[in-house]
């Protein structure tokens, strides 16, 4: 191939892509061949797409962005099949690099086969057959209300609704509205810490918003000495006002803006800036299994692929690259999971372990029931695990958060023993996560406890040099607690979540989250200020708009403080002391501080949550209450509806004699009486039994297989707690 032909080939490629790379078969074969030939001279194919991309960027090959992406993709094409490639390009770092150069990669969706598939895809694609992209990873977030950017397009909301004034600094609002003034926030004696942990675990199943990065995917430094020099397209730093009381004068919190989304056709939108959700929106255990096939490969046990990978017996999550967290003790490892935030706090890591343990337990049960094919075993266990996560979310967590009455009124209740199929699937519902929901649901930050603790059995005593209780700021991004007490920390943290009480759902955040978030080398963040700041840079309209435009309230005069009918007088006085107008109040602060009389949360949060959780059920073709092929038979559905978080805990971390509330979220409630684990209704998989059916390979009745039958008996005994330790 001559140099001229090569140059020609590159220019064809470059012209063809215009900053957008579609990796379908539309590329002319001769162009591909030319590129590949050229590349064999410069690099051996590597399996790491990020490395590959960086190799091209080393300086020698000075093509424009689109050509670089094209070359990377072509090399990858020589290594991976089209469907594997689908997942690889959605590698977060690679995506960030592409994004930062204004180059977008479009998935070539083909739903053939998925219409009849029993199992959902990993990236959420083809769930909706008319709109295969709805709810999938790396989609633009949708909005419940139109955005309210300062310039109508992209700049964060900074101006007050009245006059020429500006909105209060997010840190100032945090100090006035969300400080616990150094006194630990009161605990809600009626709920366990599972509310906190489930809340975050669920968040990490449905939304993850990537932030802008530098050109090579590296973190940005957003704090300029002169604020006027801040790159406002990529950065939204928080300059802490002087005399803060905690942060030193001149402190600036380094906050990159969320990465802008490109539109569905991969173009920079002409309209307002939108944000990305890099995980699937569906409640589909993506935090356990990942949001792409490429992620899942790293999470499955490579030797027995029906199982998820675990370490230390069944007690720790799989290891990750050690740059994913901060390690302080040699021999410990960062954790890996379906969601990259697994290392944020150790109790979250322990929940990830719990649902990996549950997957592996289900695999063992299915094996005892005659399931043999590793892929089928894996997929069925995944389907059952996801069904349990959906069931626990609606039947327990939302039943508490929104109340059963509200769920009933809104037709969102999971019917109990009177098991029938859910018939409300509606393919016209877009399940993409709502940007506004992503801000409002941060209400869970009020549940963050001041400390993390390992459960100890009497008469164990704590190690004075390495105590079982640690301040939360000492546990961020550090999995050490999982490794403590002979690497039994994961189960002990889960047990502590059952014993501990959750901080009240109020406006106050613990200092460990509000002053010392991610404390490292003396630098820390304020989570309340981040939430407010994030809402503004996402163009989230002010609180009052949600009351009127989304939730249908009529306010005679939204600019009058007398319109604040959902807040108590003390809160209104505090709001008045910081905001110029009620029309300025940020969504997160305004909604979180609504008065709570009988309900846990106020009407505006209820209305936002209902909108999102209705979509996540009604728009999910694989919702667990639907009939086969996407859902289950009635017998199987009945079995799933028996389960609970308590059942999952009893099956994986507790002995049969441990006494637990029927709802692990609500300890000791009259409706949720305490029972020993042996009496907690458990996941009964007998409806999955393949015994009695003809084995198509041998033609024999499988029940004749005495050995397997014996195994089943042993497993049943183990399940009932007789053999269980
Ligand atoms: C120790 C526990 C937690 C920590 C350290 C934590 C920390 C964070 C941080 C740093 C962010 C991003 C802030 C920003 O820059 O905008 C965030 C976002 C978020 N958090 Fe939390 N959080 C915790 C628990 C929770 C809980 C319990 C919930 C809900 C019940 C929750 C819901 C959310 C949501 C919905 C987002 C937005 C996610 C996204 O768009 O990517 N978090 N959290």
pLDDT above 90: residue 74: no
In the chain, the number of structural domains is: 2
Query: Do 87 and 193 reside in the same domain of the chain?
Result: no
Q: Whose CA is nearest to atom 34 of ligand 1?
A: 442
C-alpha count within 13 angstroms, C-beta hemisphere, residue 368: 20
Residue 471 lies in a domain: yes
Q: What is the mean pLDDT of residues 7-17?
A: 26
Q: What is the mean pLDDT of residues 98-112?
A: 64
Q: What pLDDT sits at residue 88?
A: 58
Residue 154 lies in a domain: no
For residue 327, the CA-to-ligand 1 centroid distance in Å is: 22
Query: Do 501 and 391 reside in the same domain of the chain?
Result: yes
Q: What is the mean pLDDT of residues 545-552?
A: 98
Ligand 1 pocket test target in 211, 212, 351, 442 with most atoms within 8 Å of CB: 442
Share of the chain above pLDDT 70, in %: 78
Q: What pLDDT sits at residue 508?
A: 96
For residue 20, the CA-to-ligand 1 centroid distance in Å is: 32
Query: Do 115 and 31 reside in the same domain of the chain?
Result: yes
For residue 445, the CA-to-ligand 1 centroid distance in Å is: 7
CB atoms within 10 A of CB 724: 16
Which is nearest to 259 in space by CA: 152, 159, 143, 138? 138
CB atoms within 10 A of CB 714: 12
Secondary structure (DSSP) of 223-237? --SSGGGS-TTTB--
In terms of pLDDT, which residue wins out, 419 or 179? 179
Q: Whose CA is nearest to atom 6 of ligand 1?
A: 445
d(CA 643, CA 662): 10
Query: Do 80 and 201 reside in the same domain of the chain?
Result: no
Query: Do 135 and 195 reside in the same domain of the chain?
Result: no
- What range does the domain containing 370 cover? 182-207+279-433+446-507+627-654
CA angle 320/324/325 to nearest 5° reads 110
pLDDT above 50: residue 30: no
Handedness of CA 201, 92, 513, 158 (dihedral sign): negative
Q: Which of 154-163, 247-256, 287-296, 620-629 has the lowest average pLDDT?
A: 287-296
Length of the chain: 725
How far is residue 561 from each of residues 126, 580, 585, 591, 624, measured CA to CA in Å?
48, 10, 11, 15, 45
Q: Whose CA is nearest to atom 14 of ligand 1?
A: 530
Residue 368 lies in a domain: yes
Q: Whose CA is nearest to atom 29 of ligand 1?
A: 444
pLDDT above 90: residue 149: yes
Binding site feature residues: 445
Q: What pLDDT sits at residue 107?
A: 61
Residues with Cβ within 8 Å of residue 346, at least 6 apart in sequence = 452, 475, 478, 479, 480, 481, 482, 489, 493
Distance, C-alpha 212 to centroid of its chain: 18
pLDDT in tens, 472-528: 999 999 999 999 999 999 999 999 999 999 999 999 999 999 999 999 999 999 999
pLDDT above 90: residue 290: yes
CB 45 within 8 A of CB 73: no
d(CA 314, CA 305): 15
pLDDT in tens, 455-467: 999 888 888 899 9
Q: What pLDDT sits at residue 3?
A: 29
- Of 654, 669, 691, which residue constitutes the final position of a domain? 654
- Of 140, 156, 190, which residue constitutes the final position of a domain? 140
pLDDT above 90: residue 260: no
Helix (H, G, I), strand (E, B) or coil at 581: coil
d(CA 27, CA 243): 61
Q: What pLDDT sits at residue 693?
A: 55
Residue 708 lies in a domain: no
Q: What pLDDT sits at residue 1?
A: 26
Residues with Cβ within 8 Å of residue 258, at least 6 apart in sequence = 209, 210, 211, 212, 275, 276, 534, 537, 538
Q: What pLDDT sits at residue 305?
A: 95
How far is residue 703 from each of residues 364, 369, 699, measured CA to CA in Å?
18, 10, 12
CB 137 within 8 A of CB 280: yes
Residue 618 lies in a domain: no
Beta strand 451-453 with 469-471 is: antiparallel
For residue 426, the CA-to-ligand 1 centroid distance in Å is: 30
Residue 572 lies in a domain: no
pLDDT above 60: residue 454: yes
- Of 89, 108, 140, which residue constitutes the final position of a domain? 140
Confidence of residue 703 (pLDDT cuts 50, 70, 90): very low
Q: What pLDDT sits at residue 271?
A: 82
Distance, C-alpha 724 to centroid of its chain: 33
Query: Do 196 and 49 reside in the same domain of the chain?
Result: no
Confidence of residue 692 (pLDDT cuts 50, 70, 90): low
pLDDT in tens, 379-409: 999 999 999 999 999 999 999 999 999 999 9
Q: What pLDDT sits at residue 285?
A: 98
Confidence of residue 572 (pLDDT cuts 50, 70, 90): very high
pLDDT in tens, 77-90: 666 666 666 555 55
For residue 272, the CA-to-ligand 1 centroid distance in Å is: 24
Residue 226 class from Cβ within 10 Å (0-12 exposed, 13-18 middle, 19+ buried)?
exposed
Ligand 1 pocket test target in 203, 212, 434 with most atoms within 8 Å of CB: 203
Question: Which pTM does this prediction carry?
Answer: 0.87
How far is residue 100 from each of residues 218, 260, 261, measured CA to CA in Å?
10, 9, 11
Q: Whose CA is nearest to atom 2 of ligand 1?
A: 448
Q: What is the mean pLDDT of residues 164-186?
A: 94
Ligand 1 interacting residues, C-beta cut-off 6 A = 196, 199-200, 203, 207-209, 344-345, 438, 441-442, 444-445, 447-448, 527, 530, 534
Q: What is the mean pLDDT of residues 132-146?
A: 92
Residue 116 class from Cβ within 10 Å (0-12 exposed, 13-18 middle, 19+ buried)?
exposed
Query: Do 460 and 341 reside in the same domain of the chain?
Result: yes
Q: Looking at the CA of residue 209, tell me the nearest atom of ligand 1.
A: 41
Residue 260 lies in a domain: no
Q: Whose CA is nearest to atom 22 of ligand 1?
A: 445
Query: Do 191 and 101 reside in the same domain of the chain?
Result: no
Q: Whose CA is nearest to atom 32 of ligand 1?
A: 442
The CATH number given to whatever domain includes residue 361 is 1.10.640.10
Query: Do 194 and 126 reside in the same domain of the chain?
Result: no
CB 351 within 8 A of CB 357: no
Query: Do 191 and 87 reside in the same domain of the chain?
Result: no
Q: Whose CA is nearest to atom 15 of ligand 1?
A: 530
List for the chain the helix, strand, coil content (%; round to 5): 40, 10, 50
Q: What pLDDT sits at residue 471?
A: 97
CB 216 within 8 A of CB 173: no
Ligand 1 pocket test target in 445, 475, 479, 525 with most atoms within 8 Å of CB: 445
Confidence of residue 529 (pLDDT cuts 50, 70, 90): very high
Which residues make beta-bridge pairs with 469?
453
Peptide bond connecting 459 to the previous residue in cis, omega within 30 degrees of 0: yes
Confidence of residue 138 (pLDDT cuts 50, 70, 90): confident
pLDDT in tens, 615-662: 999 999 999 999 999 999 999 999 999 999 999 999 999 999 999 999
pLDDT in tens, 314-350: 888 888 888 889 998 999 999 999 999 999 999 999 9
Q: Looking at the CA of residue 437, tell me the nearest atom of ligand 1.
A: 35
Q: What pLDDT sits at residue 172?
A: 98
Q: What pLDDT sits at residue 68?
A: 61
Longest dimension (CA), the chain: 84
Q: What pLDDT sits at residue 254?
A: 97
The beta strands (E) that lie in 107-215 are given as: 139-140, 187-192
Q: Which two tokens stand for residue 498?
A: 């059952």
For residue 448, the CA-to-ligand 1 centroid distance in Å is: 10
Q: Which two tokens stand for residue 285?
A: 């255990």
For residue 538, the CA-to-ligand 1 centroid distance in Å is: 15
Q: Which two tokens stand for residue 132?
A: 């295969």
Q: Which two tokens stand for residue 569?
A: 């007088």
For residue 639, the CA-to-ligand 1 centroid distance in Å is: 33
What does DSSP assign to residue 7? H
Q: Looking at the CA of residue 449, tell me the nearest atom of ligand 1.
A: 1
Binding site feature residues for heme b: 445
For residue 388, the CA-to-ligand 1 centroid distance in Å is: 23
For residue 510, the CA-to-ligand 1 centroid distance in Å is: 14
CA angle 152/154/158 to nearest 5° reads 75
Q: Which two tokens stand for residue 415?
A: 């019917």
Residue 112 lies in a domain: yes
Question: What distance, in Å, lies between the first and last C-alpha atoms of the chain?
Answer: 69
pLDDT above 50: residue 180: yes
Query: Do 479 and 401 reside in the same domain of the chain?
Result: yes
Give the phi and the psi of residue 188 in degrees, each rounded to 5: -90, 105
In terms of pLDDT, which residue wins out, 6 or 720? 720
Query: Do 471 and 403 reside in the same domain of the chain?
Result: yes
* Mean pLDDT of the chain, nearest integer: 85
Q: What pLDDT sits at residue 715?
A: 58
């Amino acid at each position: 191939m001559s140099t001229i032909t090569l140059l020609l080939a590159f220019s064809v490629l470059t012209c063809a892509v215009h900053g957008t790379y579609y990796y379908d078969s539309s590329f002319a074969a001769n162009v591909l061949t030319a590129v590949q030939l050229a590349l064999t001279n410069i690099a051996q194919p590597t399996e790491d797409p990020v490395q590959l991309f960086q190799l091209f960027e080393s300086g020698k090959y000075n093509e424009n962005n689109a050509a670089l992406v094209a070359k990377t993709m072509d090399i990858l094409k020589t290594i991976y099949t089209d469907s594997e490639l689908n997942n690889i390009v959605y590698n977060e770092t690679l995506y960030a690099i592409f994004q930062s150069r204004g180059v977008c990669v479009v998935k070539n969706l083909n739903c053939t086969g998925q219409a009849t598939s029993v199992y959902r895809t990993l990236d959420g694609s083809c769930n909706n057959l008319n709109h295969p992209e709805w709810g999938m990873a790396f989609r633009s977030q949708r909005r419940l209300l139109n955005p309210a950017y300062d310039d109508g397009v992209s700049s964060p909301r900074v101006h007050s609704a009245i006059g020429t004034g500006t909105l209060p600094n997010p840190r100032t609002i945090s100090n006035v509205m969300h400080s616990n003034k150094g006194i630990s926030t009161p605990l809600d004696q009626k709920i366990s810490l599972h509310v906190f942990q489930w809340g975050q675990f669920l968040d990490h199943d449905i939304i993850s918003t990537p932030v802008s990065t530098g050109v090579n995917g590296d973190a940005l430094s957003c704090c300029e000495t002169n604020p006027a020099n801040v790159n406002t397209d990529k950065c939204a730093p928080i300059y802490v006002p002087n005399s803060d009381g905690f942060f030193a004068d001149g402190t600036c919190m380094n906050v990159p803006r969320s990465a802008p989304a490109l539109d569905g056709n991969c173009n920079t939108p002409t309209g307002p800036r939108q944000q990305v959700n890099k995980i699937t929106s569906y409640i589909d255990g993506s935090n356990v299994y990942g949001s792409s096939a490429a992620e899942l490969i790293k999470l499955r046990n490579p030797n027995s692929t029906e199982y998820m990978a675990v370490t230390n017996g069944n007690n720790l999550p799989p290891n990750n690259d050690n740059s994913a967290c901060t390690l302080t003790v040699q021999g410990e490892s960062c954790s890996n999971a379906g969601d990259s935030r697994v290392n944020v706090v150790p109790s979250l890591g322990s929940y990830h372990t719990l649902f990996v343990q549950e997957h592996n337990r289900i695999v063992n049960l299915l094996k005892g029931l005659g399931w043999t094919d590793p892929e089928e075993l894996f997929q069925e266990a995944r389907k059952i695990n996801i069904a349990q996560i959906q069931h626990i979310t609606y039947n327990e967590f939302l039943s508490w958060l929104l109340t059963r009455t509200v769920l009933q009124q809104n037709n969102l209740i999971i019917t109990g023993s009177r098991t029938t199929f859910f018939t409300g699937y509606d393919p016209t519902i877009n399940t993409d996560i709502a940007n506004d929901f992503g801000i409002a649901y941060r209400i869970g930050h009020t549940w963050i406890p001041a400390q993390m603790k390992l459960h100890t059995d009497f008469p164990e005593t704590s190690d004075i040099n390495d105590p079982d209780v640690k301040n939360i700021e000492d546990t961020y991004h550090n999995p050490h607690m999982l490794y403590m007490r002979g690497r039994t920390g994961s189960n002990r943290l889960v047990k502590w979540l059952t014993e501990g009480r959750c901080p009240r759902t109020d406006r106050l955040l613990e200092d460990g989250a509000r002053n010392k978030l991610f404390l490292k080398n003396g630098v820390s963040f304020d989570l309340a200020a981040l939430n407010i700041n994030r809402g503004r840079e996402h163009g989230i309209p002010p609180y009052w708009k949600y009351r009127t435009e989304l939730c249908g309230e009529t306010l005679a005069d939204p600019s009058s403080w007398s319109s604040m009918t959902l807040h108590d007088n003390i809160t209104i006085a505090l709001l008045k002391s910081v905001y110029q107008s009620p029309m300025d109040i940020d969504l997160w602060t305004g909604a979180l501080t609504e008065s709570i009389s009988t309900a846990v949360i106020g009407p505006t949060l209820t209305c936002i949550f209902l909108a999102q959780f209705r979509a996540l059920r009604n728009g999910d073709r694989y919702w667990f209450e639907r009939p086969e092929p996407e859902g289950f038979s009635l017998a199987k559905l009945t079995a799933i509806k028996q389960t609970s978080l308590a059942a999952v805990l009893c099956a994986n971390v507790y002995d049969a004699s441990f006494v637990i509330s029927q709802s692990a979220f609500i300890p000791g409630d009259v409706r949720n009486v305490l029972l020993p684990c042996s009496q907690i209704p458990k996941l009964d998989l007998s409806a999955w039994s393949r015994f009695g059916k003809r084995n198509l390979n041998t033609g024999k009745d499988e029940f004749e297989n005495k050995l397997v039958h014996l195994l089943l008996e042993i497993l049943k005994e183990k399940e009932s707690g007789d053999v269980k330790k």
